[in-house]
Structure 1
Amino acid sequence: MADYVRNLWYMAAWDHEIPDGGMLSRTLLGEKWLIASLSDGTYAMLADSCPHRFVPLSKGKLEADVIHCPYHGLGFDRTGTCVHSPFPGPPPAHVRARTMPVILRHRALWFWPGDPNKADARLIPDFGFVDRDGMQRSHLVIQGHYELVTDNLMDLTHIEFLHVESFGVNGSIFAGRQSVVTDESGAIWNNWDMEAVPAPAWAAPMVADGARVDQWLYMRWHAPAAMALTVGLSRTGTERRDMVVPEMVNPHIITPETSTSSHYFYDHEATREAEVLARKVFIEEDEPMIEAAQQSLGTRDFWDARPAILETDAGAIRARRRMMQLRRAEAADEAQVGN
């Protein structure tokens, strides 16, 4: 279950998680990596292990864009080259730290674990809406394989069961219309449209008694697991012009930590109330189910476990199949190179 597709952009962190002139250590795709904030406003990403005696470089210090190992003082630049040695003679040319391309885009640090020559920044999904006032960007770790988290997000029917108090839509999704489409960018959209339905509990005070509303929940997915959710709510009969609340768009970006745990990057309004609600939704409601599914699945492959497939799984299954295609294509390319 750890057969990661390498030639894709993954999210490593929000920009505020790396202090100016500082470093962040994080487990990504099963390995420890170090992200360093450099003096020119860019970033470096090195394996968080000194190639000499494997001490975490994050235990050292960053000075003048050089990361110094705390054990024997070797210093590494952004390319992983050993550029400083406290011992006589030049720095050892054969001692290098592994690196990955990393770029800041949409307030997030994106890394490319595959062939660096294929790391085209234009392939980073558009999350331009993230850079807006009044929002707080957050991160947590969920104990489940990243594709189980994708399943959860790409099939929002579970909100009628898990999120009754926080985000439920009062049974409206059962009367809704689902459509799954792929756009010109290659993104897969799992869309739910619910017309002339009762307002959800959280919005009921904002509409007249008994008034009907139109709701829409649109989830956009880019490989490997970068998602954006659009939530809309308008008064019925206004062709979505008379909005009950402004349309909401939020990131839900997942990066594997290990084969059984995932980084979850999201945002919410910068209020204590919104922070508590978001953590309730993810930690108290979603995570226990994802963790239980992971424990039940164990080390078995998802498909080997012969899952039952419902019509409402269409978006999640299409995303899983896209990942299968990408894995096969990458494996075929590697085999061709090997020959």
Structure 2
Amino acid sequence: MSDYVRNLWYLAAWDHEVPEGGMLSRTLLDETWVIARLSDGAYAMLADRCPHRFVPLSRGRLEEDVIHCPYHGLGFDRTGACVHNPFPAPPPAHVRARTMPVVHRHRGLWFWPGDPEQADPALIPDFAFVDRAGMQRSRLVIQGHYELVTDNLMDLTHAEFLHVTSFGVNGSIFSGRQSVATDESGAIWNNWDMEAVTPPSWAAPMLGEGERVDQSLHMRWHAPAAMALTVGLARAGTGRADLVVPQMVNPHIITPETRTSSHYFYDHEASPEAEALARQVFVEEDEPMIEAAQAALAGQDFWAARPAILETDAGAIRARRRLMQLRRAEAGMSEAAE
């Protein structure tokens, strides 16, 4: 059974990562693809391997919306068809580059690695909030399986141990209330709500001495690993109406690079301080633990390792089980087709 669910939308890149009139090569789900920004504002996504002698098309050039292979000069259009032959013969009709559906939405490029007939853009999760002023969209590669990264995000209790200096949550989650639910869109929500707790250290200067807050951490998950975190902070006893800071919403979107590494797409305020803080949280604090978990598993299946399950794991486990159901359904459809 495949490690990946194919009939889903994955994020390949933020739109600014593909230069105007240029190309971006990226490994996604164990294969390398080239994404081209075309003259009409659309994008094309082709396997980054010429079907003739297998060199990367991304080493070639994009000219008038045709990608020209650097080795023998064959040119491929957005559909993968060979439309240019530099030699005195028609373009060979039997030569095609593989393609995938790609849609530009929410400042990102979303691709569908499954049956193209099922690639409905309406199924792309709602990340409309990403398109806002004053924010910088970033990406890094985490050396860990994408479900281990999801586990980390869907159980924010680790913030009390890993993010003491960066988030300064001050023990509020220990007295919080967790709820896990699935909404009408199929999203799984893992919510923490804390009432009359000590404020995080970064918010203390905005409050009076000894003042308490009502805090919320709500994580939304869409398969395979597209998450959005909403953080709320209000003065205690105001019914969450008197906000200390405006509600904060950020994307945490994970796309497998390989079976042991993951693209992590996120955003932050467009300042060097905010960029440094994000890297501290993800690279210096989260990633070493994810890497350590993966090293300890040493290739063993997560469930075969018989993990201990805690109540606080409810959101992460529900997401894992949902992916398992989707993988089994696709495997069953494949077997039926054979």
Same fold, TM exceeding 0.5? yes
| Paired residue type of 1:58 | S
SS for the counterpart of 1:230 is: strand
Q: Deviations over 1:219-276 (max 9, x none)?
A: 0000000000000100001111110110000000000000000000000000110000
- What is residue 302 of structure 2 aligned with on the other side? 302
Q: How many residues align?
A: 338
Give the superposition deviation at 1:317.
0.1
1:269-288 aligned at under 5 Å gives the runs: 269-288=269-288
Q: Is the 1:2–1:259 contact (alpha carbons within 8 Å) kept by the matching residues of 2?
A: no
1:119-138 aligned at under 5 Å gives the runs: 119-138=119-138
- What is residue 206 of structure 2 aligned with on the other side? 206
CA distance in structure 1 between the aligned counterparts of 2:322 and 2:179, rounded to whole angstroms? 17
CA distance in structure 2 between the aligned counterparts of 1:19 and 1:321, rounded to whole angstroms? 38
1:194 aligns with 2:197: no
- What is residue 8 of structure 2 aligned with on the other side? 8
- What is residue 290 of structure 1 aligned with on the other side? 290
Give the superposition deviation at 1:3.
1.6
1:84 aligns with 2:104: no
Q: Deviations over 1:286-326 (max 9, x none)?
A: 00000111111121111011111000000000000000000
| Paired residue type of 1:212 | R
Give the superposition deviation at 1:2.
5.6
- What is residue 52 of structure 2 aligned with on the other side? 52
CA distance in structure 1 between the aligned counterparts of 2:65 and 2:177, rounded to whole angstroms? 53
SS for the counterpart of 2:49 is: coil
CA distance in structure 1 between the aligned counterparts of 2:4 and 2:199, rounded to whole angstroms? 41
CA distance in structure 2 between the aligned counterparts of 1:42 and 1:298, rounded to whole angstroms? 42
SS for the counterpart of 1:67 is: strand
- What is residue 219 of structure 1 aligned with on the other side? 219
- What is residue 337 of structure 2 aligned with on the other side? 337
Q: Is the 1:57–1:69 contact (alpha carbons within 8 Å) kept by the matching residues of 2?
A: yes
- What is residue 317 of structure 2 aligned with on the other side? 317
Q: Deviations over 1:13-49 (max 9, x none)?
A: 0000000110000000000000000011010000000
Q: Is the 1:2–1:258 contact (alpha carbons within 8 Å) kept by the matching residues of 2?
A: no
- What is residue 155 of structure 2 aligned with on the other side? 155
| Paired residue type of 1:84 | H
Give the superposition deviation at 1:168.
3.1
Q: Aligned Cα RMSD in Å?
A: 0.7
Gaps of 5+ in 2: none
Q: Is the 1:195–1:215 contact (alpha carbons within 8 Å) kept by the matching residues of 2?
A: yes
CA distance in structure 2 between the aligned counterparts of 1:183 and 1:168, rounded to whole angstroms? 31
SS for the counterpart of 2:329 is: helix
Q: Deviations over 1:139-196 (max 9, x none)?
A: 0000000000000000000000000000131011000000000000000000000000
Structure 1 stretches (4+) deviating beyond 3 angstroms?
Answer: none
CA distance in structure 2 between the aligned counterparts of 1:255 and 1:214, rounded to whole angstroms? 33
- TM-score, normalization by structure 2: 0.99
Give the superposition deviation at 1:332.
0.8
SS for the counterpart of 2:97 is: coil
SS for the counterpart of 2:280 is: helix
CA distance in structure 2 between the aligned counterparts of 1:68 and 1:292, rounded to whole angstroms? 43
CA distance in structure 2 between the aligned counterparts of 1:22 and 1:304, rounded to whole angstroms? 45
- What is residue 66 of structure 2 aligned with on the other side? 66
Q: Deviations over 1:48-80 (max 9, x none)?
A: 000000000000000000000000000000010
Identity, % of aligned positions: 81
CA distance in structure 1 between the aligned counterparts of 2:94 and 2:167, rounded to whole angstroms? 55
| Paired residue type of 2:302 | F
CA distance in structure 2 between the aligned counterparts of 1:303 and 1:199, rounded to whole angstroms? 37
SS for the counterpart of 2:152 is: helix
Shifted more, 12-21 versus 1-10: the winner is 1-10
CA distance in structure 1 between the aligned counterparts of 2:143 and 2:297, rounded to whole angstroms? 13
Gaps of 5+ in 1: none
- What is residue 113 of structure 2 aligned with on the other side? 113
CA distance in structure 2 between the aligned counterparts of 1:168 and 1:127, rounded to whole angstroms? 27
CA distance in structure 1 between the aligned counterparts of 2:221 and 2:146, rounded to whole angstroms? 13
- What is residue 262 of structure 2 aligned with on the other side? 262
| Paired residue type of 2:333 | D
- TM-score, normalization by structure 1: 0.99
Shifted more, 297-306 versus 128-137: the winner is 297-306
- What is residue 239 of structure 1 aligned with on the other side? 239
CA distance in structure 2 between the aligned counterparts of 1:168 and 1:125, rounded to whole angstroms? 30
| Paired residue type of 2:128 | G
| Paired residue type of 1:147 | E
Q: Is the 2:2–2:327 contact (alpha carbons within 8 Å) kept by the matching residues of 1?
A: no
CA distance in structure 2 between the aligned counterparts of 1:289 and 1:131, rounded to whole angstroms? 31
